[in-house]
Structure 1
Amino acid sequence: MPDGALDLGPLPPATGRRMEQAITAVRAAIDTGRMRPGTKYSVYRLADALHMSRTPVREALLRLEEVGVIKFEARQGFRILLPQPHEIAEIFAVRLALEVPAAHRAAANPDPALRHALADRHERMHTAARTADESTFARDDFGLHDLILAAAGNARSRAIVAALRETTRLLGASTADTSRTLTDIDDEHTPIVTAVTAGDPDAAATAMRAHLITTGRLLVHQAARTSPHLDPDAIWTALIE
């Protein structure tokens, strides 16, 4: 199959790492349909289309290959892959194992600094949801979960969840504005913040579990839409329930 045509336009000037900019550009191109799963693309043509050198573009693609977004082929070619439902279910199996007890532990003895930090993050999420600012909302969503993990005191769990969430981001797996709105997602965090702030460990764990299960199941179902032979509920049940 000949290499797919690329009409992405040059990246705007930015102060961030060029590799990260290339990742963002590829993800955006996949999301908008300008790069299609199954089509073979050229690393060289991608670099030319982005007006970037080949080194950061190849670094970006290597990172995307690590999490299963693309697959390299011979002669500097690569293809876009669709996220697999079982991969997402596996991620949420680990997140449930780590974040539910973290919420329980964080709520067992919340100090004033944690209460203030959670309230501040949640207020930022409210604002981002009202203005439909998905990138800011995602950043503060991550920050709120990270605060709870940090309060639980397990640095290894915190690092693992951060890596898993980065993998989900690179896979392009998001329910925002597809299965639910930013306000819906924001509302799911309210009982978590309320329970942790009130010092109610059982309620915090229950709320965190409910939020992660809702998110995970929706993402598994979304990923299975292009594979009608797969049963997303069976995949979820096998790994989670």
Structure 2
Amino acid sequence: MTGIDFGVPTFAPAVSALDATPMSLAERAIKAVRGAVRSGALIPGELYSVYRIAEQLGISRSPVREALLRLAETGMIKFERNRGFRVVLPTPHDIAEIFAIRLALEVPAVRRATLQADIRDRRALRQQYAAMEEAAQIDDEPTFEHHDQKLHALLIDIEGNNRTKNIINNLRDATRLVGASTVRSDRSLLEVLVDHLPIVEAFEAANPEAAAIAMDCHLRTTGRLLLSQALRQSGKQDEELAIWEQLID
């Protein structure tokens, strides 16, 4: 089994009474595991030990097990009885399911967020877009992806549904296992940037229907490209249209 280098310890030796609750530790363990998946420290298919993860995080196995059970519900990991767990690479069908869910959640969320936003919210979204643009100009994909995710998360924060935000974050992490994004193989960072612009402009104009339409278009474009990537990897690219139409169109 492969160990994981999480770099700087995620948990301080001493925490406050609130932070020391099992639920709080589980949340922090989820964040650490998701971060390791994003960075590539956790490799799809490799077998990992719950005990070893807990040891590296400096906490007991109970909150780590709770965190992994919750991640297993999202499909990101799979337990093997009495052996440990593996990070699961999503199938093409999984990709289509993920984007069906994202369309169902994010399109109405951006509509509501556009209605509820104030001038500070609109300024904050434009700042995230500007940060994406700056990263795109210097071809800094990790920074671009960071602000891309923050832009989407900000819209959900404005809409006010934390459960939706958590679900979407988990779904985004799952699709990252196919390939960090559609960048390089299908689109440049600047092309991805431009794909977000109609969302930002409609949001700034306080036009909820235009924002929803723009988000719908963005997610469909990204979903089809990721599905195509996954099918190329599996050698079944001719199935793309059937899978997409079955679950989304």
Into which bin does the TM-score normalised by the smaller protein fall?
Answer: 0.7 to 0.9
How far does residue 145 in structure 1 lie from its aligned partner after superposition?
2.9
Corresponding residue for 1:177? 183
1:123 and 1:26 map into 2 onto residues whose CA distance is 27
The one of 8, 11, 20 equivalent to 2:7 is 11
Residue 218, structure 1, aligned to residue 225, structure 2: yes
Structure 1, unaligned runs of 5 or more: none
How far does residue 213 in structure 1 lie from its aligned partner after superposition?
0.6
Percent of residue pairs bearing the same amino acid type: 42
In structure 2, the CA distance between the partners of 1:131 and 1:64, relative to structure 1 (3 Å rule), is farther
2:65 and 2:115 map into 1 onto residues whose CA distance is 46
Corresponding residue for 2:245? 237
Q: Compute the TM-score of the two structures, normalised by the length of structure 2.
A: 0.71
The one of 159, 163, 172 equivalent to 2:162 is 159
Q: Compute the TM-score of the two structures, normalised by the length of structure 1.
A: 0.73
Q: CA RMSD in A?
A: 3.4
In structure 2, the CA distance between the partners of 1:223 and 1:164, relative to structure 1 (3 Å rule), is farther
Task: Write the deviation string for residues 81-134 of structure 1: whole angstroms up to 9, x where unpaired.
Answer: 211223332232232234334444555686433332222221122223334444
Residue 79, structure 1, aligned to residue 100, structure 2: no
1:105 and 1:180 map into 2 onto residues whose CA distance is 29
Question: Which residue identity is paired with 1:167?
Answer: N
1:240 and 1:22 map into 2 onto residues whose CA distance is 30
The one of 12, 15, 24 equivalent to 2:35 is 24
SS at match of 2:234: coil
How far does residue 172 in structure 1 lie from its aligned partner after superposition?
4.7
1:132 and 1:185 map into 2 onto residues whose CA distance is 12
Residues 40-79 of structure 1 aligned to structure 2 (within 5 Å): 40-44=47-51, 50=56, 52=58, 55=61, 57-79=64-86
Please tell me whether the aligned partners of residues 156 and 162 of structure 2 are also in contact (alpha carbons under 8 angstroms): no
Question: Which residue identity is paired with 2:246?
Answer: A
Corresponding residue for 1:207? 214
In structure 2, the CA distance between the partners of 1:114 and 1:226, relative to structure 1 (3 Å rule), is same
Please tell me whether the aligned partners of residues 27 and 172 of structure 1 are also in contact (alpha carbons under 8 angstroms): no
In structure 2, the CA distance between the partners of 1:169 and 1:18, relative to structure 1 (3 Å rule), is same
In structure 2, the CA distance between the partners of 1:149 and 1:20, relative to structure 1 (3 Å rule), is closer
Number of residues of Structure 1 aligned to a counterpart in Structure 2 = 228
Residues 128-139 of structure 1 aligned to structure 2 (within 5 Å): 128-139=135-146
